[in-house]
Amino acid sequence: MKRSILFLVIALGCFWSCEKDDICIAGDTPMMRITFVNFIDETLEKAPERLLIVGKDKTTPITTISPGSSSITEALIPLVPNTNQTEYYLVTNASIDSEGNVSGNIDALILSYTPNPKYISKACGYIVSYDNLIPILTPDTDNWIKKITVLSPSITNENEVHLKIYH
Amino acid sequence: MKMKYTLKYITSVIGLFVVFQLQAQQKKIDLNPKDTITHMESYGIRLGMDFSKKILGQLKPDFEGLELVADFRLSQTLYLAAELGNEKKTITEDTYTFTPEGSYFKIGIDQNTYDNWYGMNNMIHLGGRLAYAKYSQTINEFAVFDTDRYWNPEGFGVSDQTLPSYTGLSAMWLEVVFGAKVELFANIFLNASVRGGYLLSHDNNTNFPNNWVPGFNAVTEESKFGVGYNYSISYLIPIFKKPKVYKESEEAKKKRLQTASEEKSIKKAQRASDKEEKKSSKQSL
């Protein structure tokens, strides 16, 4: 009797302490895909000169594209998943001085959206997709971005193009 | 003259004793007399409360719970048992916290497998329950899983959105109970039990899975089994008394049957000898 009770206690203790080692592989929050298009001939892709994309209040440019490259016609841009707005600075002819200040033609782009949370699993928790994507270009004296069109207002996967930027 | 009468009296008295002794000798002395005293046992409703949930609620701020337990004695070993409870627990996962909250009811049978000594009223019982819970789940806070770390370099960003809580959820399950009840003082019992649950059905069609059901405890994604426990103190309200039914051991039964058959054969032999005596006496006549 005593031995069986001891066994029961050990077995129960095991039930409590053993927990599955969870790694999330089932899903991920998608990024926004943008393409750069020639403003004059809309069928042609056009890479901006020495492009740099920096988030507002961030000290480093996004790493999904190589910063300062002149051959980028398509880019994946991460959005802030836990709020409903992301602000980016898109810089052409960019150069960074020794103190880290960015100079060039800076255009501010505000992206507003509605995050749509979706439960995946115990390991992943929640991911979001985005609905009602609206880009707002802040006007300044010389915007290099001439026009923005939304191809897909909801971002559920990274394979389709969501935004077209004309310049 | 007087002396003669006395002598006659004495001899007749002796004769009387002789007769009695003969009669007494004929009756076999029973060395294992059957116990004719009946032991009355209390039957009634036992009401109690799970104190482990109260203590846990005091120690951990993320748990609140109350469970009332009751059983009614049906027969020598069978008890009708039920539990009624209410639980609220805040669970923290890696990227989200949620609070399931609700009530449950369990009903079933306990069978006492412990053979008590005289005057004892303890139980080691095995039993089964059918349980039903009605509850809701609220997601308190969640961070968004994102492998890109540009905006949230350390950890995941906690969302500023609030998710709707899922109400009106229900679950049904079966339970196997193994436990013990010990009488501490007259009519006051200390109870402990372990339970294994098997989930029959639960509402899992919402945007959020059932990770925890009140009364059932943790629900895992790929298994229908769960474990629980209960520590309670209960009070027996005696309603009526019934005599205890003693179980006859195998040995005692064997002995009883043997003596019975022996008695039978002795009687048979006696009858046969009586008959023969009668016959011989007739013949001699």
Residue B177: which CATH number? 2.40.160.20
Would residue B3 count as lying in a domain? no
Q: Quick check: B144 and A83 CB within 8 A?
A: no
- Label residues B141-161 b or e (16+ Cβ within 10 Å = b): ebbbbbebebbbeeebbebeb
Classify A145 as helix, strand or coil: coil
* pTM for the structure as a whole: 0.71
Would residue B217 count as lying in a domain? yes
> Nearest CB to A125: which of B145, B152, B160?
B145
Q: What is the pLDDT of residues A26-42, one digit of tens each?
A: 788 999 999 999 988 88
* Chain B residues touching A84 at Cβ < 8 A: 160
Would residue B239 count as lying in a domain? yes
Q: What is the pLDDT of residues A118-159, one digit of tens each?
A: 988 888 889 999 999 999 999 888 889 999 999 999 999 899
* Cα-based distances in Å from A120 to A80, B13, B150: 19, 106, 22
With an 8 Å Cβ cutoff, is B154 touching chain A? no
Residue B34 is predicted with a pLDDT of: 65
* CA distance, residue B227 to nearest chain A CA (Å): 8
Would the pLDDT of B148 be above 80? yes
With an 8 Å Cβ cutoff, is A153 touching chain B? no
Cα dihedral across residues B57, B96, A23, A62: positive or negative = negative
Provide the number of structural domains found in chain B: 1
B169 contacts B215 by C-beta, under 8 angstroms: no
Give the mutation candidate from A65, A82, A122 for the B interface (greatest B CB count, under 10 A): A82
Residue A124 is predicted with a pLDDT of: 85
What is the average pLDDT across B169-178? 94
With an 8 Å Cβ cutoff, is B205 touching chain A? no
* Chain B residues touching A124 at Cβ < 8 A: 95, 145
The least confident of A54-68, B13-27, B31-45, B55-69 is: B13-27
Residue percentage of chain B with pLDDT more than 70: 87
Residue B222 is predicted with a pLDDT of: 74
| Sequence ranges of the domains in chain A | 21-166
A95 versus A152: the higher-pLDDT residue is A152
Would residue B165 count as lying in a domain? yes
Which residue segment(s) compose the domain that B208 sits in? 40-243
The least confident of A97-101, B11-15, B151-155 is: B11-15
With an 8 Å Cβ cutoff, is A64 touching chain B? yes
